[in-house]
Amino acid sequence: MLSANMVELAYLLAAVLIIFALKGLASPETARRGNAFGMLGLGIAALVTLQMDAVQNYAWIVAAIAVGGLFGGVVARKVPMTHMPQTVAFMHSLVGLAAVMIAVSAFLDPVAYGIANAEGGLYMASRVELFLGTFIGAITFTASLIAFGKLHGLLSGQPLTFAGQHLLNLLLGLVMLAAGIMFCVTGEMLPFMMMLVIAMVLGVTLIVPIGGADMPVIVSMLNSYSGWAAAGIGFTLGNNMLIIAGALVGSSGAILSYIMCKAMNRSLFNVLLGGFGGDTAAVSTAGAVGQRPVHSGAAEDAAFLIKNARSVIIVPGYGLAVARAQHVLKELVEALLAMDVQVKFAIHPVAGRMPGHMNVLLAEADVPYDIVFEMDEINPEFSDTDVVLVIGANDVTNPASKTDPSSPIYGMPILDVSKAEHVVVIKRSLAAGYAGLDNDLFYMDKTMMLFDDAKKACESMLQALD
C-alpha cells in the first residue's frame, strides 16, 4: 500500500499528464501524443486508487472493468466517423449517470463513504456536494441522451418549441433548487429524490428546443457538464484526482463552447434558448429551392478546373463524413500536388457535427497537417485562389451572413469562399443545411454545382485527372 503522500504525489503526476493531454488535443498534429498522455495519466490514477485501503472487494471492480472495457472496445472499433458526434454524446450521458449513481449510493450509505456525522447522517458540506454533483449529473445524463437521439436520427433534429417553454424551464429550475436547498437543510430522502427527478426532466426540456445548427455547441457544453459532475462527486468521495480532472474537463469544455458560439456569432444564452436550425427536406433537383437558376456540371468539368488551377482550397463539411470520402479525397489531393497545384484545406470551427470533427476525419486519411488551416488563417487567401472545392459544406460558406441583415445567420463568421475566382460545390442536392437556410453561394455565376455523392464525385474527378 502507498502512503498518503505517495498517493497525492501520484495524483499530481496524473493531473499534470491530463493537462498535457488537453494541450496536445488542441492541434491535430499533437493529438495522438495528447491521447497517450491522457491514457497514461488516467491509468496511473486508476492503479493508485485501486490500492487504497477504501477498496475492499476487487471482484466487482474487475468484473466492471472487464465488461466496460469489452463493450467500449467493441463499440469503438465499429463506430464510423459519421457517428462519432452521437457516440461522444452517449459517453457524456454515461458520465452523468455514473455521477448520479455514486451520489445515490453515498446518500444511502454515508458511513461507507466516510461522510457520516456522529448520528449517522450526512455532514452539511457533504449534502451540498451531493446536491451539486447529483443535479449536474442528472441534467447531463438526460440531456446527453436527447442529444444522442437527435444526432443519431432517432429523434427529429427539428427544434421542439411550445408556448411557455422557457417559463416551464424556469419553474423546474426553481423547484429543483428549492428541493436541493431543503435537502441540504434536512438531509431527508424526499427532497433529494425530488431534486434528482426534476433535474432529469430539466435535462430533457432544455435540449429538445435546440436544433441541428447548434449541435456542435451542445456537444461541447455537455462535455463541460460531465466534467463538473465528476468534480462534484470528487468532493463527495474526497478524491483530489477526480476533482482536478473534472474541473479541467469542465473548464475546457466551457471555453470550447464559448469559442464555438463566437464562431457562430451567437451567445451561449441564445443557444440554450433553442429554436434555431433543424431537419430540412431534401431537394432532389437543381433549382427546386426558390426556382433560382444554378450552373451545374459534371465531374470532368470540375477536374478540368482544378488541374488547370494554380491554387485550390478544399472546404470539407458533414457531407464528406457521411459519404466516407476522406480517403479518396486524399488521393485526389496527392494527384493535384503531383501536378504542382497548391492545395490547402479550410476548416470552419463548427464544420461537421462536433468540435474538431473535420480535423479528425482528415487525420484519419493521413492528410498532411501542414496543409490544413483554420478559418482565421485561411480566409485572407480566398481572394487570391483560383478554385475552391466545397465538399458537403453549407451554412459555413453562406454569403448571406455578410450581405443579408435579415438572415438568421447574419454576422456569423464564414469561410470567404465567394471571393475565389471559381467555386465547385459537391452536394447531393440544393437542400438547406442545419440552419434551414438557402445558400446564396450556390446561385452565383462563378459557382458550378456538382450534384452527386461526395465519394462518387471525388472518384470520378480522380479518374478524369488520370
| C-alpha cell belonging to residue 382 | 480566398
At 51, the amino acid letter reads Q
Q: Based on the residue annotation, tell me whether 395 is a catalytic residue of this protein.
A: yes
Distance CA 194, CA 175 (A): 9
Asked if residues 392 and 323 have their Cβ atoms less than 8 Å apart, the reply is yes
Report the sign of the C-alpha dihedral through residues 429, 431, 434, 438, in that order. Answer: positive
Closest CA to 462 of 345, 337, 335: 335
Cell matching residue 244: 482536478
148 is written with which cell numbers?
444522442
Beta-carbon neighbour count of residue 271 at 10 Å? 21
Q: What backbone torsions phi and psi does residue 286 show, to the nearest 5 degrees?
A: -60, 140
Closest CA to 14 of 245, 301, 209, 214: 245
- Spell out a b/e string for 217-235, using b for 16 or more CB atoms within 10 Å of the CB, else e: bbbbbbbbbbbbbbbbbbb
Q: Give me the catalytic one of 214, 395, 416, 438.
A: 395
Other C-beta atoms closer than 10 Å to the C-beta of 463 total 11
Is 52 in contact with 7 (CB distance < 8 Å)?
A: yes
354 close to 219: Cβ distance less than 8 angstroms: yes
CA-only gyration radius of the chain, Å: 25
Instruction: Indicate which residues carry an active-site annotation.
Output: 395
